[in-house]
Amino acid sequence: QVQLVESGGGLVQAGDSLRLSCAAASGRTFSTYAVGWFRQASGKEREFIAAINNAGDNSAYGDSVKGRFTISRDNVENTVYLQMNSLKPEDTAHYFCAATEVWGPMVTDYNGMAYWGKGTLVTVSS
């Protein structure tokens, strides 16, 4: 089991950049988990954004953020990052990180993730 804490959200303007962090607060060694980012805008379903395997050498992205967002991890610091560039108003949402023990297609489905943080809010103004 692992406890996840997101940070880095805030209010930015369209075109700005923001970096989110997902830290492992406690639990098993963070490097044993694949970690993903999801977001949920008001009135919409939770959407897959990006995921990275435990070693950090394999990643996947949702179509809406490809080319703009980059996921990375530092297993020494027990942290996964989401670098978000060229932000758009439609990126406004609560962003959640999640973890699972197994890397595979299921990391793009929020039902495939076992552990969740409480989220951080990103608001992009036009």
Instruction: Give the pLDDT of residue 67.
Output: 97
Residue 116 has pLDDT above 70, yes or no: yes
Residue 71 has pLDDT above 90, yes or no: yes
Instruction: Give the pLDDT of residue 27.
Output: 66
Closest CA to 99 of 54, 57, 40: 54
Which tens digit of pLDDT belongs to each residue from 24-49? 987 667 889 999 999 999 999 999 99
Which tens digit of pLDDT belongs to each residue from 75-110? 999 999 999 999 999 999 999 999 999 999 989 999
